[in-house]
């Protein structure tokens, strides 16, 4: 965790206002209806954001899959017995509180889906997210589910083998 400093006036002045990645790319925030086609489209937007933030190509591939799996889970929660709710994605790189990290959150309004009765066919999404992100935080409430994943901006934690 970064130590907070009460520094010079100049340093303090830079902490207020919009947060930007080191490359100057603002955080990505999007909300769509939680259906499969939107999750695919939102993944493309995430890829473009990560490219514009000049993150390494292999890290983008790894993050893209993990982010998609989280969104696919949200879609599957959402579509069971009612109108699909919202699927919200946020992504930020190099924020002051998390230097050197890309932090992504995926939120939905749905209920957490219990694993399928037939073992082995489904249920690979979360293990895959964990393998790709290393640390995956999942918070479930009555109102929905929030998944947070983060990566070092210069790492490829999903490299197999």
Partner 1 sequence: MTAGTPSPDENGAVVTERAEDAVVLRVTGELDLATAPKLQQKVDTALREAPPAVLVIDLSAVTFLASAGMAVLVAAHRRGGEHTKVRVVAAGRVTLRPLELTKLTTELAVFPTTEQALAG
Q: And the tokens for 40? A: 């695919």
Residue in 69, 59, 91 with CA at minimum distance from that of residue 157: 59
Placement of tokens 């979360």 in the chain: 126
Smallest gap from residue 148 Cβ to partner 1 (A)? 19
Cα gap 53→29, rounded to integer Å: 14
What residues pair up with 102 in beta bridges, in sequence order? 93, 151
Piece of 12-20, 54-62, 90-98, 146-154 that binds partner 1 (CB under 8 A): 54-62
- The answer to whether the CB of 54 falls within 8 A of the CB of 117 is no
Cα gap 102→104, rounded to integer Å: 7
Question: Smaller CB distance to partner 1: residue 75 or 93?
Answer: 75
Piece of 24-32, 58-66, 104-112, 134-142 that binds partner 1 (CB under 8 A): 58-66
Site for partner 1 in 124-143 (CB under 8 A): 124-125, 127-128, 131-132
Contact footprint for partner 1 (CB under 8 A): 36-37, 39-41, 43-45, 48, 58, 61-62, 64-65, 68-69, 72, 75-76, 120-122, 124-125, 127-128, 131-132, 158-161
């Amino acid at each position: 965790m970064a130590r907070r400093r009460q520094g010079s006036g100049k340093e303090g002045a830079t902490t207020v206002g919009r947060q930007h990645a080191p490359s100057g790319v603002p955080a990505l925030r999007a909300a769509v209806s939680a259906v499969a086609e939107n999750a695919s489209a939102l993944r493309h937007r995430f890829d473009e954001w990560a490219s514009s933030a000049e993150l390494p190509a292999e890290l983008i591939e790894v993050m893209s899959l993990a982010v998609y799996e989280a969104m696919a889970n949200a879609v599957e929660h959402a579509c069971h017995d009612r109108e699909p709710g919202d699927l919200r994605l946020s992504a930020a790189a190099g924020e002051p509180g998390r230097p050197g990290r890309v932090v992504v959150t995926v939120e939905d309004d749905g209920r957490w889906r219990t694993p399928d009765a037939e073992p082995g066919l489904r249920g690979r999404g979360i293990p895959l997210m964990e393998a790709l992100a290393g640390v995956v935080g999942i918070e479930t409430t009555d109102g929905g589910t929030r998944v947070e994943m983060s990566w070092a901006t210069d790492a490829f934690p999903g490299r197999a083998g």
